[in-house]
Amino acid sequence: NAGVTQTPKFQVLKTGQSMTLQCAQDMNHNSMYWYRQDPGMGLRLIYYSASEGTTDKGEVPNGYNVSRLNKREFSLRLESAAPSQTSVYFCASKEQGFRSGNTIYFGEGSWLTVV
Amino acid sequence: TQLLEQSPQFLSIQEGENLTVYCNSSSVFSSLQWYRQEPGEGPVLLVTVVTGGEVKKLKRLTFQFGDARKDSSLHITAAQPGDTGLYLCVPRGANDYKLSFGAGTTVTVRA
């Protein structure tokens, strides 16, 4: 049972380059998320997709775009990478709505360095 | 937007000591979840608290939900190095599509 899989695990980019982080989940979840994590700042929401066909901005969307390709896949794109985007990125998914015990599942993270 | 505060931000203790971390909000939570993130990994769910005043125990971890459902605490008894990690809280409720976490408490347990 793979859960949430994100690629690549590590990436180094030059300022101005573009790249896409890929995320896929095999739990048939409706909602998917992209977070970034910087030292001392917990998880900050970049974008989310409540269901297939919809995407919405989170707390820190500037410099990013997302695509909900299908129910399984949610990608995050950096069009012109900046050093401020050096971070660890996490993809997550959950069932739609909330019932007691409804778990948010996270990928293992993608370490991105922009030089 | 619900303002969520976690305290302390950092906590370093010796193995065998007890510790408590807090999650507070200016608003009422429908319910709340605690996650733990170990170094190099994604967060993993520890517990969900739903009812005001609820206390849940998970081995040496005790979770409490405030009576007014505006705060929660996590108490670890006799901490072990394996408890080291980032502890995150997140409010949950019906139609909670936009999930915002607190900044977390980084706990380090020294052997």
Q: Which of B73, B64, B87 is nearest to B24 (CA)?
A: B73
Contacts of A100 in chain B (CB under 8 A): 31, 48, 50
Whether B37 shows a pLDDT value over 70: the answer reads: yes
B29: phi then psi, degrees, rounded to nearest 5: -85, 140
Q: Which of A6, A47, A98 to mutate to test the interface with B (most CBs of B within 10 A)?
A: A98
Neighboring chain B residues of A33 at a CB cutoff of 8 Å? 99
Quick check: A40 and B9 CB within 8 A? yes
Top pLDDT among A81 and B1 is at A81
Query: Quick check: A69 and A75 in contact, CB under 8 A?
Result: yes
Which pLDDT score is estimated for A2?
Answer: 74
From the list B92, B97, B101, the residue facing A42 with the nearest CB is B101
Percent of chain B with pLDDT over 90: 76
User: Is the pLDDT higher at A106 or at B97?
Assistant: A106
Q: Which of residues 48-67 of B touch A (CB under 8 A)?
A: 48, 50
Q: B10-19 burial, b for 16+ CB within 10 Å, e for fewer?
A: ebebeeeeeb
Whether B80 and B109 have beta carbons less than 8 Å apart is answered as yes
State the pLDDT at residue B1.
Answer: 52
C-alpha–C-alpha distance, residues A83 and A115, integer Å: 6
pLDDT of A95 = 81
CA A36 to chain centre: 8
Contact call for residues B69 and B5 (beta carbons, < 8 A)? no
DSSP code per residue over chain B: ---EEEE-SEEEEETT--EEEEEEESS--SEEEEEEE-TTS--EEEEEE-STT-EEEETTEEEEE-TTSSEEEEEESS--GGG-EEEEEEEE-TT--S------EEEEEE-
Q: Across the A/B interface, how many CB contacts are shorter than 8 Å?
A: 71
pLDDT for the residue A71: 95
- Write out pLDDT tens, residues A29-50: 999 999 999 987 789 999 999 9
Q: Hey, are the CB atoms on B99 and A50 less than 8 Å from each other?
A: no
Of A41, A56, A59, which has the smallest distance from its Cβ to B100's Cβ?
A59
